[in-house]
Structure 1
Amino acid sequence: MPPRPSRLRPVWLTVGFFLTGLGFLGLVLPGFPGTVFFILAAAAFAKGDPKWEAWLLSRPVVGELISDYRAGRGMPLRAKWIACVCIVLAVGVSLTRIPILAGQVAWGLVGLAGIWFITLRTPTKRP
């Protein structure tokens, strides 16, 4: 007996398409991350429809990024540098817009957590 389709299937597909769109924006907009959105989109498609997950994994650049992440191969060193610089710039620019000191501290800690994760927890992919 085949498994019943999930009631959440349309939600997962909608989330997957939205995240895929953000991922493609990240490929063309400087300073806007794309890889994380593609990874999340692949996870959403895996829950919604494996056919769309396979489509995303078959994209020339995107599929390799997702496969590398899933296999634990990590990020190229250049990508790590770019990601960390973007985090520093984004946090630095946005801190002036947060009026409450506690919010500024919390946002700074979020940025530091991102840098920590990228530098120490994410493996560096060797050529």
Structure 2
Amino acid sequence: MPDTMIRALLTFLGYVALALGVLGVFLPLLPTTPFLLLAAFCFLRGSPRMHAWLMSHRILGPYIRDFQEGRGIPLRSKCIALALMWPSLALSAWFMPVPWARWFLLIPGIGVTIYLWRLPTRPAGKAGQPGASSGQINRE
């Protein structure tokens, strides 16, 4: 496959991942950070201009940089994510037509809860601290 086709495909996938990540901000069961990380990866290899835009975005950029540099996410974000996810799972279980399948909703719920609480917690108001404001990504 020619290099230009690969770059075009990665750029397209980056746009799709970015759109899903932005939707995830508003939809409780759709994750935001994994899609933003995927978009950053795709744009890094497909569109340096879009990668630079995403990394310097005033809202999305600090989340990606902080996650990539191991600084974690704010406690408030963890609490909001869990406070939205568990009622959404409960509502989904309520409307699930197959009673025994309701228990399967515990798997992603418990998994996401454990994952979020294991992530480092960044102090409030510390987004984009040293190293993050330079736009550099730690590639180690």
- Regarding TM over 0.5, the answer is yes
Aligned with residue 83 of structure 1, among 81, 104, 119: 81
Aligned with residue 123 of structure 1, among 120, 125, 129: 120
Task: In structure 2, list runs of 5 or more residues that go unmatched.
Answer: 125-140
The whole-number CA distance in structure 1 between the counterparts of 2:105 and 2:69 is 30
CA shift, 1:106, in A, is 2.0
CA shift, 1:90, in A, is 1.8
Match in the other structure for 1:109: 107
- The CA deviation string for residues 9-68 of structure 1, in whole angstroms up to 9 with x for no partner, is 3222122112222333445x3746544432221122223223321110011111111000
CA distance 1:55–1:109, shift in 2 (3 Å)? same
Aligned with residue 65 of structure 2, among 64, 67, 72: 67
Higher mean C-alpha deviation, range 42-51 or range 86-95: 42-51
TM-score by length of 2: 0.73
Match in the other structure for 1:51: 49
Instruction: Specify the code of the residue in structure 2 equivalent to 1:61.
Output: I
Instruction: Specify the code of the residue in structure 2 equivalent to 1:68.
Output: D
The whole-number CA distance in structure 2 between the counterparts of 1:123 and 1:68 is 10
Contact 1:35–1:62 (CA under 8 A) maintained in structure 2: no
The whole-number CA distance in structure 1 between the counterparts of 2:5 and 2:100 is 40
* Aligned pairs, number: 122
The whole-number CA distance in structure 1 between the counterparts of 2:63 and 2:76 is 14
The whole-number CA distance in structure 2 between the counterparts of 1:10 and 1:33 is 25
CA shift, 1:88, in A, is 0.5
Bigger relative CO (Cα 8 Å, ≥ 6 apart) = 2
The whole-number CA distance in structure 1 between the counterparts of 2:113 and 2:4 is 36
TM-score by length of 1: 0.79
SS of the aligned residue for 1:105 comes to: helix
CA shift, 1:6, in A, is 6.1
Over the residues paired in the alignment, what is the CA RMSD in angstroms? Answer: 2.3
